[in-house]
């Protein structure tokens, strides 16, 4: 019986710890309900303030719900290491571009490959030493590869840091940002459903550049040279609907339908750009994406004067008739100054027309450079370019010694705020792409919770009733074990702040069906032993001892399968795996220890007899 | 209550019939896999899925034609039993553009029936192929792990037969998915991550079931003459039959509950589990143990007992 006392204490401890771990979840629920039941806003505010500590504590320790149940966004982003490698290269020539193009194709086909290795292999195939384009001439290929790998690793870490910064400033509770592999970030934002805004916030490379605007005559000549360029890239397939470059081609598919009539026949750039009497070049809104794409094409860039590029304005202007059009600027490709010098940014309203804008201040180095640049270019326009779009191109009136500058032409204050966040957090080391996105609205989440609870209740009821009907009093013991089992699963989830997902609930329901397996094994064995004429006590002993080996084997194999699911699974599936693992482990404990102790206790009383096993 | 008092089925004698049934199931499944293939979900294929809910009932055809006119090519299906629809498209770009396109066209064409986008999922092709790879890895690792564990606890023959049974179960369910995929609107039977989870659970369940039968065989076989093997195999299977059926029963009970109550997102998973438990229970009696028996009688080397 001494043995039993130890087991009893163990069971009591497990039960208490479980209840203690689930308690905050209940508290949280109760407090939320109470808060909801209070009618007037004042009273509810008062209640919230009075019980602030209790509410926060309960919330902090309560069972976390996964994104699918709570609503929110799950994103997988990829940092463009290839772009980073390109940035690091100098001496770029046609051969370089060609090799990089083929590497791009390879990397698209083999998404898990190390990009740097692919680049190295690409140049090796052509018998070109990497040192021709990267770092020092004396470096060996191997040294360069390891340096580039270091840069790539660093870029991922920095991108993670910057994105965390931006999200923190945006204000999301408990964001999860993890690196996955060598170039991916997994981001989970609970409660966020405005994916357009989040997308802008996360993807904005925030590459801020100050570029000199060329004079109108040069612009005119440049436009004349490129206007003959076809809208459809010469090498592209004939289908006109999908001719935009790689990253926007997929997005363009449905949108392009609207452009279909215009795309019939071979269209030239001159068909979609126009010129105003004052010399301003523009494109109408509908052709914006197309023109942007054409202006970035290598064959068009080659037609422009050395070290210049054509950029579109970020925001449209309105004609007298209210039509939207985007001005086009010819700017110096090499920036006078880049955003790295920005120390502070602030979203405000402009003094003259009360439009939202973002004001920035610079560090000492930037201030002195800005003073020199503005001093040398009085009377000329300087374009403020953010992520390749011209936000404003003010004419320099005088030398600016303070290092202050302003981005105006922003549509809304919300956008100005986002810009402030992005500028403050700094530029991403390389562009990022969204590879996977899952957004669940809060109402769907609520539906899922309801469905999940229904399944839990009905699953439990069905199994519990069956066990009592089939095994009589022994079934009650199995049901008690089942209750403890579920309690342990939920408490472990809450205790380790693992999130409960819809697949997780499915895992719990499934575990309920399988958890009674150990009891079934034992009970069937006890029945057999009873059938052979053994006494109840001996039959129970034999049942437990002989079933043990099967129970162990079956639990270990299920655990192994669940563990592998956890290792290789992604997102919600891991939730399923976790609950399955905890449930299986708990069932090992409840079946072997808990029901055994129950029987030992009951055997002493008159409650159990030979008929108790049904 | 007791369903199976003392059964006395001669499983071993009729094993050839079971082999034939299994072969037919497997061949039919494989042929379907070869011809029809699988109905992959966006996890493994890439693409976008949007769930839209309307305030008032609306005909699926109307939604479909609105989407077609908006230039969103894909399929529109009833989602769940309420006024929700699942739109699937190849779209893989900026989901906010897709969202705007959908809600604008719905708002202009159905002005007096407000709609709401409940969820958006978009998976790029590179992620999709990665997920497929890691799913295959998980399945392969699970099979190797189970093979190793059962080899250590029993004997290689038992382990191999057990893994054959797992293959049998997973392939049969996969074949069912291929045959029935896309036939039912309430249960699309798409192969996605949750189905991989189901397969791994089926593998675990199948070997669990098998191991229990093995365990009894091993217990009874100790110290017996090979000429008695057929009788002992049969008796062991009959003795564990009650447990096998009861456990499958309770597990199926909970899976049925999932199928009915847990909503459309879980339905394919629940179906896979249901089929898997059914086939897994069958295979532990009619496939795994008979293979061990056949192998044993042919190999002539006695069974080496390990473990408890």
- Residue B171 is predicted with a pLDDT of 92
- Residue A263 is predicted with a pLDDT of 44
Mean pLDDT of A74-103: 82
| Residue contact B269–A506, C-beta within 8 A | yes
User: Does the interface predicted TM-score (ipTM) exceed 0.95?
Assistant: no
Residue spans of the domains in chain A: they are 2-62, 73-205+434-440, 208-409, 442-613
Task: Find the helix packing angle between A81-88 and A94-109, rounded to 10°.
Answer: 160
Distance from CA of A137 to the nearest CA of B (A): 35
- Residue A465 is predicted with a pLDDT of 93
User: How many interface pairs between A and B have CB atoms less than 8 angstroms apart?
Assistant: 264
- Residue A161 is predicted with a pLDDT of 85
Q: Collect all residues of chain B within an 8 Å Cβ-Cβ radius of residue A112.
A: 130, 133
CB proximity under 8 Å: A 579-598 to B = 580
Asked if pLDDT for residue A298 goes beyond 60, the answer is yes
Distance from CA of B165 to the nearest CA of A (A): 14
Distance of CA A324 to the CA centre of its chain: 34
What three-state secondary structure class fits A79?
Answer: strand
Residue A284: closest CA among A326, A256, A320: A326
| Residue contact A440–B123, C-beta within 8 A | no
Query: Is residue A359 within 8 angstroms of chain B, CB to CB?
Result: no
The residue among A256, A557, A567 with the most chain B CBs within 10 A of its CB, best to mutate, is: A557
The residue among B126, B145, B277, B278 with the most chain A CBs within 10 A of its CB, best to mutate, is: B126
- Residue B302 is predicted with a pLDDT of 65
Residue A522: closest CA among B242, B59, B300, B79: B242
- What is the C-alpha to C-alpha distance for residues A468 and A479, in angstroms, rounded to an integer? 8
SS (H, E, C) A479-497: HHHHHHHHHHHHHHHHHCC
- What is the C-alpha to C-alpha distance for residues B41 and B49, in angstroms, rounded to an integer? 9
Asked if pLDDT for residue A89 goes beyond 90, the answer is no
> Does B163 or A272 have the greater pLDDT score?
B163
Domains of chain B with bracketed CATH: 15-41+127-299 (1.20.1640.10), 47-123 (3.30.70.100)
* pLDDT tens string A126-149: 878 777 787 777 777 888 888 888
Q: Which two tokens stand for residue B96?
A: 């906010």
| Residue contact B273–A111, C-beta within 8 A | no
Residue A561: closest CA among B169, B271, B123, B218: B169
Mean pLDDT of A290-297: 80
- Residue A459 is predicted with a pLDDT of 92
Whether the CB-CB separation of A408 and A349 falls below 8 Å is answered with no
Q: To the nearest 10°, the Cα dihedral for A149, B125, A507, A553?
A: -60
| Residue contact A455–B258, C-beta within 8 A | yes
Flag the least confident range among A158-172, A411-425, A541-555, B162-176.
Answer: A411-425
Number of neighbouring beta carbons within 10 Å of residue A233: 17
Query: Is residue A434 within 8 angstroms of chain B, CB to CB?
Result: yes
Helix (H) / strand (E) containing B54: strand B47-54
Mean pLDDT of A2-23: 83
| Residue contact B196–A569, C-beta within 8 A | yes
Distance of CA A524 to the CA centre of its chain: 50
Q: What is the DSSP letter of B82?
A: S
Whether the CB-CB separation of B204 and B177 falls below 8 Å is answered with no
Whether the CB-CB separation of B199 and B173 falls below 8 Å is answered with yes
Q: Collect all residues of chain A within an 8 Å Cβ-Cβ radius of residue B258.
A: 455, 459, 506, 509-510
Query: Please, which pLDDT band fits residue A234 given cuts at 50, 70 and 90?
Result: low
CATH of domain A73-205+434-440: 3.30.70.3400
Q: Which two tokens stand for residue A275?
A: 């010129």
For chain A, report the end-to-end CA distance as a whole number of angstroms.
27
Q: Compute the residue count for chain B.
A: 308
- Residue A323 is predicted with a pLDDT of 80
Q: Collect all residues of chain B within an 8 Å Cβ-Cβ radius of residue A501.
A: none
* pLDDT tens string A404-443: 877 776 777 777 777 777 777 777 778 888 888 888 888 8
* pLDDT tens string B254-284: 999 999 988 888 888 999 999 999 999 999 9
For chain B, report the end-to-end CA distance as a whole number of angstroms.
31
Mean pLDDT of B14-42: 90
Q: Which two tokens stand for residue B211?
A: 């191991």
Asked if pLDDT for residue B308 goes beyond 60, the answer is no
* pLDDT tens string A525-553: 888 888 888 888 888 888 888 888 888 88
| Residue contact B204–A521, C-beta within 8 A | no
> What is the average pLDDT value for chain A, to the nearest integer?
80
Whether the CB-CB separation of A524 and B171 falls below 8 Å is answered with no
Strand ranges in B113-190 using DSSP code E only, listed in sequence order: 115-123
Asked if pLDDT for residue A184 goes beyond 80, the answer is yes
Number of neighbouring beta carbons within 10 Å of residue A276: 11
- What is the C-alpha to C-alpha distance for residues A532 and A256, in angstroms, rounded to an integer? 80
Task: Find the helix packing angle between A502-531 and B229-261, rounded to 10°.
Answer: 140
Q: Which two tokens stand for residue A538?
A: 């001996």
- Residue A254 is predicted with a pLDDT of 39
Residue A235: closest CA among A223, A227, A243: A243
- Residue B94 is predicted with a pLDDT of 72
**How is A415-483 classified by DSSP, letter by letter?**
HHHHHHHHHHH---SS-EEEEEEEEE-HHHHHHHHHHHHHHHHHHHHHHHHHHHHHHHHHHHHHHHHHH
Radius of gyration of the CA atoms of chain B, in A = 24
| Residue contact A195–B252, C-beta within 8 A | no
Q: Collect all residues of chain A within an 8 Å Cβ-Cβ radius of residue B150.
A: 553, 557
Q: Collect all residues of chain A within an 8 Å Cβ-Cβ radius of residue B270.
A: 506
- What is the C-alpha to C-alpha distance for residues A439 and A441, in angstroms, rounded to an integer? 7
* pLDDT tens string A241-258: 333 333 333 333 333 333
Q: For chain A, what percent of residues have pLDDT higher than 70? A: 91
- Residue A257 is predicted with a pLDDT of 37
Query: Please, which pLDDT band fits residue B22 given cuts at 50, 70 and 90?
Result: very high
Q: For chain A, what percent of residues have pLDDT higher than 90? A: 4
* pLDDT tens string A15-66: 888 888 888 888 888 888 887 787 777 777 787 787 788 777 777 778 888 8
Asked if pLDDT for residue B111 goes beyond 60, the answer is yes
Asked if pLDDT for residue A10 goes beyond 90, the answer is no
CB proximity under 8 Å: A 533-572 to B = 546, 548-550, 552-554, 556-558, 560-562, 564-565, 567-572
What three-state secondary structure class fits A385?
Answer: strand
Number of neighbouring beta carbons within 10 Å of residue A395: 11
- Residue A1 is predicted with a pLDDT of 52
* pLDDT tens string B214-239: 888 888 888 777 778 888 889 999 98
The residue among A561, A573, A613 with the most chain B CBs within 10 A of its CB, best to mutate, is: A561
Mean pLDDT of A476-492: 90
What three-state secondary structure class fits A579?
Answer: helix
3-state helix, strand, coil in chain B (%, to 5): 65, 10, 25
Angle at alpha carbon of residue A386, lines to A382 and A391, rounded to 5°: 55
Q: Which two tokens stand for residue A276?
A: 């105003």
Q: From the options 3.30.300.30, 1.20.1640.10, 3.90.1150.10, 1.10.260.30, give the CATH code of A442-613.
A: 1.20.1640.10
- Residue A614 is predicted with a pLDDT of 65
Predicted model pTM: 0.78
- Minimum-distance CB partner of A441 among B117, B137, B145: B117
- Residue B92 is predicted with a pLDDT of 67
């Amino acid at each position: 019986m001494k043995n039993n006392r130890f087991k009893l204490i163990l069971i009591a401890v497990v039960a208490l710890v479980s209840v203690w771990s689930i308690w905050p979840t209940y508290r949280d629920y109760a407090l939320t309900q109470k808060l909801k039941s209070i009618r007037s806003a004042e009273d509810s505010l008062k209640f919230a303030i009075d019980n602030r500590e209790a509410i926060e504590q309960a919330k902090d320790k309560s069972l976390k719900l996964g994104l699918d149940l709570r609503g929110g966004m799950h994103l997988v982003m990829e940092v463009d290491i290839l772009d980073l490698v390109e940035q690091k290269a100098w001496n770029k020539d046609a051969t370089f571009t060609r090799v990089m193009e083929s590497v791009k194709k390879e990397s698209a086909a083999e998404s898990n490959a190390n990009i740097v290795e692919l680049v190295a292999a690409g140049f090796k195939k052509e018998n070109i030493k990497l040192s021709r384009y990267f770092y020092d001439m004396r470096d060996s290929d191997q040294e360069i590869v390891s340096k580039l790998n270091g840069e790539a690793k660093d870029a991922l870490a920095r991108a993670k840091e910057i994105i965390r910064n931006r999200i923190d400033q945006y204000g999301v509770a408990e964001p999860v940002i993890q690196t996955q592999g060598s170039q991916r970030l997994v981001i989970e934002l609970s409660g966020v459903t405005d994916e357009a805004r989040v997308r802008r916030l996360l993807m904005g490379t925030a590459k801020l550049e100050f570029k000199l605007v060329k004079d109108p005559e040069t612009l005119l000549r440049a436009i004349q040279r490129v206007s003959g360029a076809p809208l459809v890239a010469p090498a592209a397939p004939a289908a006109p609907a999908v001719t935009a470059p790689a990253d926007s081609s997929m997005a363009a598919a449905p949108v392009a339908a609207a452009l279909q009539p215009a795309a019939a026949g071979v269209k030239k750039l001159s068909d979609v750009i126009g010129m105003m009497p004052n010399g301003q070049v523009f494109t109408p809104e509908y052709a914006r994406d197309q023109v942007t794409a054409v202006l970035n094409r290598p064959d068009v860039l080659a037609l422009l004067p050395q070290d210049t590029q054509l950029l579109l304005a970020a925001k449209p202007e309105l004609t007298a008739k209210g039509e939207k059009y985007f001005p086009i600027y010819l700017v110096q490709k090499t920036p006078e100054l880049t955003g790295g010098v920005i120390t502070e940014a602030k979203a405000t309203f402009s003094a003259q027309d009360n439009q939202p804008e973002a004001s920035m201040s610079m560090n000492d180095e930037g201030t002195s450079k800005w003073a020199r640049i503005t001093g040398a270019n009085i009377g000329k326009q300087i374009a403020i370019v953010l992520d390749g779009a011209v936000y404003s191109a003010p004419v320099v009136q005088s030398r600016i010694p303070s290092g202050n500058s302003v981005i105006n032409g922003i549509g809304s204050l919300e956008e100005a705020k986002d810009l402030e966040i992005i500028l403050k957090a700094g530029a991403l080391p390389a562009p990022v792409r969204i590879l996977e996105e899952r957004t669940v609205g809060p109402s769907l989440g609520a539906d899922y919770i309801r469905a999940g609870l229904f399944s839990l209740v009905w699953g439990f009821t069905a199994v519990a009733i069956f066990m009592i009907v089939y095994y009589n009093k022994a079934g009650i013991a199995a049901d008690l074990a089942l209750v403890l089992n579920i309690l342990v699963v939920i408490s472990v989830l809450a205790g380790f702040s693992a999130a409960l997902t819809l697949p997780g609930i499915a895992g719990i329901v499934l575990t309920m069906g399988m958890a009674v397996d150990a009891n079934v094994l034992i009970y069937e064995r006890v029945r057999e032993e009873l059938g052979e004429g053994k006494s109840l006590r001996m039959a129970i002993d034999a049942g437990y001892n002989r079933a043990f080996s099967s129970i162990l084997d079956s639990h270990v194999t299920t655990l192994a399968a669940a563990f592998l699911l956890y290792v290789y699974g992604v997102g919600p599936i891991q939730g399923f795996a976790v609950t399955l693992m905890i449930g299986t482990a708990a069932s090992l404990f409840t079946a072997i220890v808990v029901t055994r102790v129950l029987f030992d206790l009951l055997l002493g009383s008159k409650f159990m007899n030979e008929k108790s096993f049904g | 209550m007791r369903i199976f008092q003392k059964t006395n089925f001669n499983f071993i004698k009729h094993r050839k019939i079971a082999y034939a049934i299994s072969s037919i199931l497997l061949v039919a499944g494989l042929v379907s896999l070869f011809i029809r293939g699988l109905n992959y979900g966006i996890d493994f294929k890439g693409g976008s899925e949007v769930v839209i809910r309307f305030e008032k009932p609306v005909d699926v055809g109307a939604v479909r034609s609105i989407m077609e006119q908006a230039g969103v090519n894909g399929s529109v299906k009833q989602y769940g039993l309420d006024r929700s629809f699942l739109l699937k498209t190849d779209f893989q770009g900026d989901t906010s553009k897709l969202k705007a396109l959908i809600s604008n066209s719905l708002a202009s064409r159905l002005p007096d029936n407000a709609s709401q986008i409940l969820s958006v999922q978009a998976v790029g092709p590179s992620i999709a192929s990665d997920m497929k790879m890691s799913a295959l890895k998980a399945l392969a690792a699970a099979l190797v792990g189970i093979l190793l564990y059962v080899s250590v606890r029993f004997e290689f023959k038992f382990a191999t037969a057990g893994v054959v049974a797992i293959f049998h179960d997973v392939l049969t369910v996969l074949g069912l998915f291929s045959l029935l995929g896309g036939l039912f609107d309430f249960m699309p039977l798409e192969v996605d991550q949750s189905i991989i989870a189901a397969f791994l659970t089926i593998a675990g369940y199948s070997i669990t079931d098998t191991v229990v039968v093995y365990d009894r065989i091993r217990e009874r076989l100790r110290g017996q003459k090979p000429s008695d093997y057929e009788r002992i195999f049969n008796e062991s299977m009959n003795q564990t039959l009650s447990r096998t059926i009861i456990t499958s029963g309770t597990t199926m009970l909970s899976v049925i509950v999932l199928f009915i109550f847990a909503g459309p997102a879980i339905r394919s998973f629940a179906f896979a589990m249901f089929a898997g438990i059914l086939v897994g229970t069958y295979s532990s009696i009619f496939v795994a143990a008979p293979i061990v028996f056949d192998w044993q009688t042919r190999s002539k080397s006695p069974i080496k007992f390990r473990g408890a």
